[in-house]
Amino acid sequence: MQSENIEHQKSVRAALRSFAKLPSKQAALSFLAALGYSSSKTVKLDGSVSEFLAQIDSAGKLSREKSRAEIDYWKSADFVIQLTNDELPMLAHGQQNLADSASSFHRSIIESFVFLTIELDGNSWTRGKLAGITREVNGLFPMPAIIFFRYGNEFTLSLIPRRQNKTDSSRDVIAAPSKVALVKDVDILNPHRAHVSILADLHIQAGIAKKTPSNFTDLYQAWTDVLSVDTLNKKFYDKLSNWYLWSAGQVKFPVAANAGDEAEKLNQIAVIRMLTRLIFVWFIKEKGLVPENLFDRSALADLLSADPSANPDDSSYYKAVLQNLFFATLNTEQNDKRKWRARSASGSTSDYLVTTKYRYKSLFADPDSALSLFRKVPFLNGGGSVSKVVEIDFGHLRAG
pLDDT tens across the length of the chain (400 residues):
455 678 889 999 999 999 999 999 999 999 999 999 999 999 999 999 999 999 999 999 999 988 999 999 999 999 999 999 988 888 877 766 555 456 789 999 999 999 999 999 999 999 999 999 999 999 999 999 999 999 999 999 999 876 555 444 455 555 554 478 899 999 999 998 889 989 999 998 875 445 677 788 888 888 888 887 666 667 777 777 888 888 888 888 887 778 787 888 888 888 888 888 888 888 888 778 888 889 888 899 899 998 888 887 788 898 899 989 888 888 777 767 788 887 655 555 555 556 678 889 999 998 988 988 898 888 876 544 444 333 333 333 333 2
Q: Is residue 213 within 8 Å of 88, Cβ to Cβ?
A: yes
Domain boundary among 198, 227, 256: 227
Q: Is residue 379 within 8 Å of 332, Cβ to Cβ?
A: yes
Give yes or no: residues 146 and 212 share one domain: yes
- Does 234 fall in a domain? no
**If you count them, how many residues does the chain have?**
400
Under 8 Å CB-to-CB from 375, ≥6 apart: which residues?
Answer: 334, 338
Q: Is residue 202 within 8 Å of 35, Cβ to Cβ?
A: yes
C-alpha 115/C-alpha 148 separation (Å) is 8
Give yes or no: residues 61 and 205 share one domain: yes
Q: Is residue 156 within 8 Å of 128, Cβ to Cβ?
A: no
Give yes or no: residues 270 and 301 share one domain: no
149 φ, ψ to 5°? Answer: -90, 145
Which residue, 114, 103, 130, is CA-closest to 52? 114
C-alpha 51/C-alpha 48 separation (Å) is 6
286 φ, ψ to 5°? Answer: -65, -25
Q: Is residue 324 within 8 Å of 356, Cβ to Cβ?
A: no
C-alpha 272/C-alpha 394 separation (Å) is 8
The pLDDT, as a whole number, for residue 103 is 76
- Does 232 fall in a domain? no
Cβ-in-10-Å burial (0-12, 13-18, 19+) of 258 comes to exposed
The pLDDT, as a whole number, for residue 337 is 76
What total number of domains does the chain contain?
A: 3
- Does 6 fall in a domain? yes
Range of the domain at 246: 239-289+384-400
Give yes or no: residues 201 and 334 share one domain: no
Give yes or no: residues 112 and 153 share one domain: yes
Give yes or no: residues 221 and 263 share one domain: no
Q: What is the CB-side half-sphere exposure of residue 342 using CA atoms within 13 A? A: 4
- Does 42 fall in a domain? yes
Give yes or no: residues 300 and 264 share one domain: no
The pLDDT, as a whole number, for residue 386 is 43
Strands 162-164 and 172-174: antiparallel
Torsion sign over Cα 261, 264, 265, 266: positive
- Does 233 fall in a domain? no
Give yes or no: residues 332 and 282 share one domain: no
The pLDDT, as a whole number, for residue 327 is 84
